[in-house]
Amino acid sequence: MAHTPFRVDVLTPTGELFGGEVEQVSTRTVAGEIGILAGHAPLLGRLEPAELKLHVSDGDVKRYVQIGGYVQVAQEGNVLLLVDEAFPVEEYSVEDAKQRQEKAATRLAACDEGTEAHRLALAAKQRADALVRLADRL
Amino acid sequence: MAQRDVKNRIGSVQNIRKITRAMEMVSAARLRKAEERAASLRPYADALRKMTRQAAQAAGSGELQAQPVLQTHEQEQTVGLLLVTADRGLAGAFNSQILRAGLQRAAELEADGKSVRWYATGRRGLSSLTFRNYEVAASYTGFTDAPNATHAHEIAEELVGAFVDQQIDRVEIIFNHYVSPLVQEVSRQTLLPLSKAEVEVEGDPAADAAPEATAGPKALVEYEPDPAEILAQLVPEFVEVSLLRALLESAASEHGARMTAMRSASDNAGEVIDNLTLAMNRARQAEITQEIMEVVAGAEALN
């Protein structure tokens, strides 16, 4: 079933990952899984580590892994995703994710509780955990 | 110098020229890539600014000003200095001018009664600082010729954490600002507290003037999580963007500096080869003259 296409731009700090018309975007924000179709209500949300799917057409789905970032649905219906880090789904590896998790855990252990450094390290650890969990869902 | 020695030296200088030529070409190729990467950060930063404006408006007035990374600390006791250098040398004054500027700045700060906390990216900066017995709070190496967002993220979190926890009251970053492939300028920028200008949308008066007035009725915007929380996460991203910009510019500068350094090395090698060839010809001529004189002298002795 074809949906009305709408404009989506996916930007990363090192370049544009995707720019064009799609029928649906599925991703995950802090509030949970979200699917965006044409005419979605305006939205501004924080992204969590998850799979990012861009349904260009029925047979053509672009799949990426996002680490974090923001999604914005503008009043005009254009969708903008700012992702701090993203890569094609094929490049995902559990080993890399586990390595990141370990690094985050060491960093967290080195911080005193109650400090900003601790809060940031904890967030990084949670992101790394989510990334490892993603292995079962891809 | 004997003919053979000169010939050997010419050979080794020719080899060196081959290497410096190759390095020059490699740097030229990498420079182009680094330039592209530096340019592609702009749309991201602009989009981030617009999102921040939206979140700031939704969060209500004062929320943006209240962000901890925008706060100037009342007493500035410790200043963090981040030196952005390269992992490798052979790039002319690229690394040494950063170090010189850093040490000079540190002397100024210490004269003001402040203490300095060192941070470094790039092996060159780290090793120079440790060689001079400075304690480096954190260092980041292994990526200076092609930095990415992950590296900037790691550094930014460390600095923001230390800043918000009041361990450092200010962070300055010293890096090679990219002007052109031939020109790099040492530039010092205050990274924290973040300047408000960095967060605000530049030169977009139409968007600033009452955006609510445009269009007809507007649907209510959903926020996940609430605007204040999004804002609190968005604003530190600018530290990351500024940092990444500095890292990318430094990378482009590094390749430019190395390209220039290698080009002059190649030119110099050519000159050395010319001089040595002259010296060799002279030595050969001297040898021949010597031999002729010996033959003539021998013939004269027979007569």
ipTM: 0.86
Give the closest of B54, B157, B165 to A115, CB-based.
B165
Is pLDDT at B116 greater than 60 in this prediction? Answer: yes
Are A41 and A15 in the same domain?
yes
Q: Domain range holding B147?
A: 49-200+222-257
Looking up residue B147, the CATH number of its domain turns out to be: 3.40.1380.10
- Asked if residue A103 and residue A52 are part of one domain, the reply reads no
Residues B264-283, mean pLDDT to the nearest whole number: 93
3-state SS of B174-207 is EEEEEEECCEEEEEEEEEECCCHHHHCCCCCHHH
| A43: in domain | yes
* The two structure tokens encoding residue B41: 């950060």
Residues A20 and A82 in one domain: yes
C-alpha distance from A9 to closest chain B C-alpha (Å): 11
Nearest to B225 among A30, A41, A42 (CB): A30
- Residue B71 gets which letter from DSSP? P
Alpha-carbon gap, residue B261 to B96, rounded angstroms: 14
Of the candidates A13, A43, A115, the beta carbon closest to that of B161 is on A115
Q: pLDDT digit string (tens) for B44-62? A: 988 888 888 888 888 877 7
- Do the chains contact at A14 and B221, CB–CB below 8 Å? no
Residues whose CB falls within 8 Å of the CB of residue B293, separated by 6 or more in sequence, listed in order:
none
Chain B positions touching A41 (Cβ under 8 A) are 219-222
Q: Are residues A21 and A73 in the same domain?
A: yes
Task: Based on the fold, state whether residues A112 and A76 are members of the same structural domain.
Answer: no
Write down the pLDDT at residue A136.
Answer: 80
A81, A98: one domain: no
B215 contacts A41? CB cut-off 8 A: no
A126 touches chain B (CB under 8 A): no
Tell me the mean pLDDT in the region B17-35: 94
Candidates B37, B68, B233; nearest CB to A46? B233
Q: What total number of domains does chain B contain?
A: 1
Q: What is the pLDDT of residues A72-124, one digit of tens each?
A: 998 888 999 999 888 888 888 888 888 888 888 888 888 888 788 888 888 88
Task: Read off the pLDDT of each residue in B75-91 and give the average, rounded to a whole number.
Answer: 91
Residue A16's closest chain B neighbor by CA? B40
Question: Any CB–CB contact under 8 A between A120 and chain B?
Answer: yes
The verdict on a CB contact (< 8 Å) between A12 and B37 is no
Cβ separation A44–B227 shorter than 8 A: yes
Query: What is the mean predicted confidence (pLDDT) over B242-252?
Result: 92
For residue B185, the cross-strand partners are: B177
In percent, the amount of chain B with pLDDT more than 70 equals 93
- The enclosing domain of A37 has a CATH number of 2.60.15.10
Q: How many CA atoms lie within 13 A of B303 on its CB side?
A: 5
In a domain, B163, yes or no: yes
Are A121 and A77 in the same domain? no
Domain membership of residue B207 (yes or no) is no
Q: What is the pLDDT of residues A43-61, one digit of tens each?
A: 999 999 999 999 998 888 9
pLDDT at position A137 over 90: no
B222: which DSSP letter? E
Domain of A34 in residue numbering reads as: 6-90
A contact residues 47-66, partner B, Cβ 8 Å cutoff = none
- How do residues B129-177 score in pLDDT, each as one tens digit? 999 999 999 999 998 888 988 889 889 989 999 999 889 999 999 999 9
| Final residue belonging to a domain, choices A75, A90, A105 | A90
Which chain A residue shows the shortest CA-CA distance from B68?
Answer: A116
Confidence of residue B302 (pLDDT cuts 50, 70, 90): confident
Local structure of residue B117 (DSSP, 8 states): E
Are A31 and A45 spatial neighbours (Cβ–Cβ below 8 Å)?
yes
pLDDT tens digit sequence for B193-235 = 888 777 776 555 444 444 444 444 556 788 888 888 888 888 8
Chain B residue with CA closest to A48: the answer is: B224
Q: Are residues A85 and A19 in the same domain?
A: yes
Average pLDDT of chain A to the nearest whole number: 88
| Structural domain includes residue A11 | yes
Residues A108 and A86 in one domain: no
Residue A121's Cβ-count burial label (10 Å; 0-12, 13-18, 19+) is: buried
Q: Which two tokens stand for residue B247?
A: 């890292």
Q: Is residue A1 part of a domain?
A: no
A109 and A57 belong to one structural domain: no
pLDDT band (50, 70, 90) for residue B98: very high
DSSP calls for chain A: -----EEEEEEETTEEEEEEEESEEEEEETTEEEEE-TTPPPEEEEE-SEEEEEEEETTEEEEEEEEEEEEEE-TTS-EEEEEEEEEEGGG--HHHHHHHHHHHHHHHHTSPTTSHHHHHHHHHHHHHHHHHHGGGG-
Tell whether B109 is covered by a domain. yes
Asked whether residue B25 is assigned to any structural domain, the reply reads no
Number of domains in chain A: 2
Answer yes or no: is B19 within a domain.
no
Report if residue A118 sits inside a domain. Answer: yes
For residue A14, is it within any domain? yes
Dihedral in degrees, nearest 10, Cα atoms B205, B206, B210, B212: -150
For residue B1, the model assigns a pLDDT of: 60
Residue of A nearest to B244 (CA): A13
A12 occurs within a structural domain? yes
- Look over chain B and give the mean of its residue pLDDT values, rounded to a whole number: 88
Selected for mutation to probe chain B from A40, A82, A127 (highest B CB count within 10 Å) is A82
Say yes or no to pLDDT of B118 above 90. Answer: yes
Does residue A104 sit in the same domain as residue A76? Answer: no
Residue A43 shares a structural domain with residue A71: yes
